Structures are given as C-alpha cells and as structure tokens.
Amino acid sequence: MEPYAVVETGSKQYRVKAGDVLNVELLPVEPGKKIDLAPVLAVSDGKDLKVGTPDIKGTKVTATVVKHFRDDKIVAFRTKRRKNYQRKVGHRQELTLLKIEAIKA
C-alpha cells in the first residue's frame, strides 16, 4: 500500500496521498501558495497505521492551492400540494482545488 493520511478541513475528513487532487471548502489562501493541512487524524506509511487521539502532533500534510471556483448549482425545491405553495432556492458552494504535495510523518 502507498502511504496516506487522513486530514480534516472544513469539518470534513479526507483520505489523501501524495499527488492527489481534491476539492475542499473555500480556504483563505491565494492560488499558487502552499498550505499545511491540520489536524492530521491518521497516517500510514504503507505498513503501519498510526491513529491520533484526536490528532497526531508533528505530522504535516503539505498542499498547493491550485484555484478557487464555485461548484454546480444545487436546487432545493419545496412544494405543498393543493396549497399553492412553492419555493425554489439555489445554492453554489465556493470550493478550493488542492494538490497534495507531501506527507511528513
């Protein structure tokens, strides 16, 4: 197995390995800059898995911000039959595209 880590960002957890590209909630970092993702909840070197309680101190996952963009629109439509009630609301989440550079355990 390849080395991987589990990181938390935007109240979500992601399993990442070096070279991965992933979409996370908007981060206040300019495109082209490097960022250290923390906390690291678990890390594996390919053989052994080390799980933090709740996170692992001294472990870093380095990523580069590729770009910021907005996701596809999600439409929430609510209706009540026979009551002439309809509500349509759209939402577009702002996201950041990250490229994982390295996992340092």
> What's the token pair of residue 11?
């109240």
| pTM for this model (two decimals) | 0.85
Q: Give Cα 57 to chain centroid, integer Å.
A: 20
Sign, Cα dihedral of 60, 61, 64, 69: negative
Confidence of residue 105 (pLDDT cuts 50, 70, 90): confident
Give the chain's end-to-end CA distance (angstroms, integer). 16
Amino acid at 12: K
Contact of 11 with 24, CB cutoff 8 Å: no
Average of pLDDT values for 40-57? 92
Could you tell me what percent of the chain has a pLDDT over 70? Answer: 100
The mean pLDDT value for 70-85 works out to: 98
